[in-house]
Structure 1
């Protein structure tokens, strides 16, 4: 076992490169929400009756991330499992560079919508690379290794408002952040191409074929389905808050509502835990398991943010409170799903152990 640990040390730099990609992903997933008014003006948004800029089109573009993920996940998982984690990661990181450079170059909401879809595709390929890869690099602490992807995102989203403040105080354009992130992603894509990746774990396949006499590789049970659906609820609550917190904060008189993101970014990780748990139900297909959770996450991203954009357009000043109410309902559903995973998952494990002993 010690030899295996030592041999995995050569992949630690690879893990750092993958975690860094998630750090920039954290910026990509939240920065549009911090500059909604700027982008709305750039795309020719109208001024509402109360004198504010209609930012609903920007929320719609953010929702396009989910559409891009839905398009890509059916392919991203198999690419990661069959062709390799390296290729999946390179595609994802390179497309994130396209997102950062593209979003500041377009002047139409519909072109921006297309770039938003690219963001979602990038997310799909990166997720199906990073989660399986870090779990294979750190097999003894796979769930914790996967949880560190959330830590990387959290750090990025915690410091982003401060970076925004520095850029503003220096009287620089918000485009500076996009350009910087695009350059960093290009450098990280090169690293992913040249750094070593661990051999994909095939032992789980042998274990699964030994313990599962029916020959079924995929265990769709109430607990595994609930675990997948937590991908929907956790992403819905996270994305709603991440992209609508400024308006809520302003409605309650907070002078700098962007700082709400920094505090909220410290209470996450549910999606990563759901991914690790689901991989436990599908140990021979880590990329597929990641895809299933992230497809649910993508549906949440698209459907719930589209609903938030609609509420913003039709309810005006009341929109922030209506959106938060919707978020509360989704959170309660997520709690119910977590209870199913906890208790039905335990009973499934006992049942599987009994069948192996027989």
Structure 2
């Protein structure tokens, strides 16, 4: 019973996280009026989420290894409550920016507390366990626009959407308060067994660099599409506004479909690394097609394909594979991997923003290069996996009570 409470609580946090990543953008018009600013001003506040992630991922990962996962899961939940209260009470974008940084910090704390916990709880099914986090995030991203839409139609206060999330967090805190996380002693025993299963130890200067590159490239591949697909469809393929915006819906549908299918397949039918390499290659093919043949039908199929193969959980699988390479210090591993992803979400708009002013078609070429590098790196990881593990299986200790 205790383990069920823990697992349900961890997944519910990612329902909240999915909501939190888009709720400011979904309430942009109301927040613009509340803060007496422009759309760019609200976007400035939203950008603080990335700042918060970059600031603390490494530190929270290191400390979660030292002091356990529970404090960081609870700290992440508390930071989200303060974030929502601060957004509702902030009189201007500058104070709101500071509170928005807390959202990124909360994201980091949840990641470095939750991913290692699930990987340790389910060492033989870690891929499925972590991909399900993406599923709950997708549910949150689907759910909150409906709530905000109902509030808008009913001419009700936008803040009710945020208070709803706070209520979910508080109820989940009650659920998790008495749940038992894996003990530090059991985690150390499992980590030592996992490291002993390696034929040769992983090397940070080689394997670590490969995973940092993959963390950056896997995030950059789908983040670029999410940011520019609508504009690309309108400018390059000559699509109308409604059809161009629908491309992002196809992308989202692909992502959700992938999460469901991948969660079923991974570990039971296909190894996580096999999916990681295969999905990365298929995403590359889809992006090449969108670059070479920018027609409405190709972009529609390509948008769905990139959502499926690049944004549907392959990044989470990359993290679980990295944790197998470096089983001691999974919190720090999570922090390093997702810091690379946060750098991608920060740098991609800078790289592509200037190019979009003069050559929108060239943006897709940039993503072709990124996806090609991601595929090459995934092949390198696969080769190194064979060197480290051969056909060895992951040891499993029963940490679930």
Instruction: Work out whether residues 5 and 176 of structure 2, in 8 Å CA contact, stay in contact via their aligned partners in 1.
Output: no
TM-score by length of 1: 0.78
Counterparts of 1:306 and 1:175, CA distance in 2: 32
Distance 1:352 1:92, change over 3 A: same
The yes-or-no answer on 1:203 pairing with 2:189 is yes
- Aligned residue number for residue 58 of structure 2: 74
* Separation in structure 1 between the aligned mates of residue 234 and residue 346 of structure 2, nearest angstrom: 25
Partner of residue 349, structure 1:
389
User: Would you say the 8 A contact 1:88–1:125 is kept in 2?
Assistant: yes
Match of 1:279 in 2: 323
Distance in 2, Cα, partners of 1:116 & 1:244: 24
Does residue 253 in structure 1 map to residue 240 in structure 2? yes
The answer to whether 1:301 aligns with 2:345 is yes
Question: Within 5 A, what are the aligned runs for 1:1-358?
Answer: 10-46=2-38, 55-200=39-184, 201-207=187-193, 210=196, 219-220=203-204, 222-242=206-226, 252-255=239-242, 257=245, 260=249, 262-263=252-253, 265-266=255-256, 267=308, 268-305=312-349, 311=354, 315=357, 326-350=366-390
TM-score, normalisation: structure 2: 0.71
Measured after TM superposition, the shift of residue 29 of structure 1 is 1.1
Which digits, 9 at most, give the CA deviation of each residue in 1:184-240, with x for residues without a partner?
A: 1122233323222122412244336756799x7x63153442223222223334445
More moved, 22-31 vs 61-70: 61-70
Gaps in structure 2 of 5+ consecutive residues: 257-307, 394-401
> How far is the alpha carbon of 1:88 from its aligned partner?
0.8
Give the superposition deviation at 1:325: 6.0
Other-structure match for 1:51: none
Q: Is the 8 A contact 1:159 1:262 kept in 2?
A: no
Shift of 1:145: 0.8
Greater Cα offset, 87-96 or 128-137: 128-137
Structure 2 CA distance for partners of 1:238 and 1:190, relative to 1, 3 Å: farther
CA contact (8 A) 2:144 2:161 kept: no
- Distance in 2 separating the partners of 1:270 and 1:228: 14
Q: Aligned residue pairs: how many? A: 331
Judged with a 3 Å threshold, the aligned counterparts in structure 2 of structure 1 residues 13 and 297 are, in CA distance, closer, same or farther, namely same
Deviates further, 55-64 or 235-244: 235-244
Change (3 A) 1:170 1:265: farther
Q: 1:134·1:146 contact (CA, 8 Å) conserved in 2?
A: yes
> Structure 1: where are the runs of 5+ without partners?
1-8, 47-54, 354-358
Render the CA deviation track for 1:292-312: whole Å, top value 9, x for unaligned: 11111221232334556x559
**2:22, 2:314 → 1: CA distance?**
17
**CA-CA distance at 1:122 after TM superposition:** 0.6
**1:278-337 residue CA offsets vs partner (Å, 9 max, x unmatched):** 1011111111111111111221232334556x559x94xx89877666555433432332
How far apart, CA to CA, are the structure 2 residues paired with 1:34 and 1:246? 17
* Contact 1:205/1:283 (<8 A) preserved: yes
Q: For residues 326 and 38 of structure 1, do their structure 2 counterparts lie closer, same or farther at Cα, with a shift above 3 Å needed? A: farther
> 1:22 and 1:75 mapped to 2: Cα distance?
21
Q: Assess if the C-alpha contact under 8 Å between 2:323 and 2:333 holds in 1.
A: yes
1:76–1:124 Cα contact (<8 Å) kept? yes
Question: What is the CA distance between 1:264 and its match in structure 2?
Answer: 5.1
- Deviation per CA, 1:118-151: give whole Å up to 9, x if none: 1111111100111111222223312211111111
Alpha-carbon RMSD: 3.4
SS of structure 1 residue aligned to 2:91: coil
| 1:15 and 1:137 in contact (8 A); partners too | no
